């Protein structure tokens, strides 16, 4: 695979380059956000490894700018910042997954395989182009969501989360299932990023609607189903 590594720490670059090259990957390197963004927009890569703290243009802004024109290439964010707020910010910017430093090279390679496999699986998917429940409709082709006649503006992460819920209607999903399928994060059960994003999604799709779609099953997880709430 062709990978773009946007990272400014020589020791990290050397370590990742040696490991991934030995695994048969072709690695291109950019040591600042400006050159990394230019390379990402001018060339085609199978995956982008993006450090958050890089000079000239920070990784968060690079990610946002890439996503303005490229919604398909997986972006794996690498950073020493591991708070829920930083994870949410990175995912909101358009990252597909998030790894905190220091990390094991074996885990990095596993994440890369998972992200690229997920992308290929989505390309081959023979499922319907649209998913719906009640008056909520998600279009996989145009990447749009509407409820009734009103469009709903979602971030890339919110869209994937809603798509996962719609693909598993009436099934109770625990946090680990959601982390593994929406973000491929399977190492930190303590993170509350799932709860944060479900609250975001609820505000966008359920607010001002009497029929609620996302529900908490206490002690178990979340479920998507239609439940009418009487206003009285």
Q: What is the pLDDT of residues 8-26, one digit of tens each?
A: 999 999 999 999 998 889 9
Distance of CA 3 to the CA centre of its chain: 18
**Closest C-alpha among 90, 96, 27, 25 to residue 60:** 90
Paired strand residues for 98: 77
**Closest C-alpha among 158, 166, 169, 170 to residue 137:** 166
DSSP state of 181: I
Burial 116-138 (b: 16+ CB within 10 A, else e): eebbeeeeeeeeeeebebeebbb
| Token representation of residue 66 | 């890439």
Domain boundaries, the chain: 2-124, 130-228
**Rounded average pLDDT over 26-31:** 94
Q: Spelled out in words, what is the top-level CATH class assigned to the domain 2-124?
A: alpha beta
| pLDDT tier, 89 (very low <50, low <70, confident <90, very high otherwise) | confident
Phi, psi of 136 (to 5 degrees): -95, 125
pTM for this entry: 0.60
Domain 130-228 part of CATH 1.10.10.10 = yes
**Closest C-alpha among 190, 162, 163, 160 to residue 175:** 190
């Amino acid at each position: 695979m062709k990978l773009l590594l946007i990272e400014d720490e020589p020791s990290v670059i050397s370590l990742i380059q040696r490991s991934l090259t030995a695994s048969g990957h072709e690695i291109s390197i950019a040591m600042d956000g400006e050159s990394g963004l230019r390379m990402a927009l001018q060339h085609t890569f199978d995956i982008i490894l993006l450090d958050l703290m890089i000079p000239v243009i920070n990784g968060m802004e690079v990610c946002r700018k890439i996503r303005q024109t490229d919604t398909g290439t997986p972006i794996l964010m690498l950073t020493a910042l591991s708070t829920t707020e930083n994870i949410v910010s990175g995912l909101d910017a358009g990252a597909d997954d998030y790894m905190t430093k220091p990390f094991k090279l074996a885990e990095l390679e596993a994440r890369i395989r998972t992200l690229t496999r997920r992308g290929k699986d989505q390309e081959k998917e023979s499922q319907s182009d649209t998913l719906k429940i009640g008056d909520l409709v998600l279009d996989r082709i145009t990447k749009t969501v509407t409820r009734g006649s009103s469009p709903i503006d979602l971030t890339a992460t919110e869209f994937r989360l809603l798509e996962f819920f719609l693909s598993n209607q009436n099934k109770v999903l625990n946090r680990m299932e959601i982390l593994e399928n929406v973000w491929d994060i399977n190492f930190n059960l303590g993170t509350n990023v799932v709860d944060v994003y479900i609250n975001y999604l609820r505000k966008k799709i359920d607010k001002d609607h009497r029929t609620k779609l996302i529900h908490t099953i206490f002690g178990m997880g979340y479920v998507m189903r239609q439940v009418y709430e009487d206003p009285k």
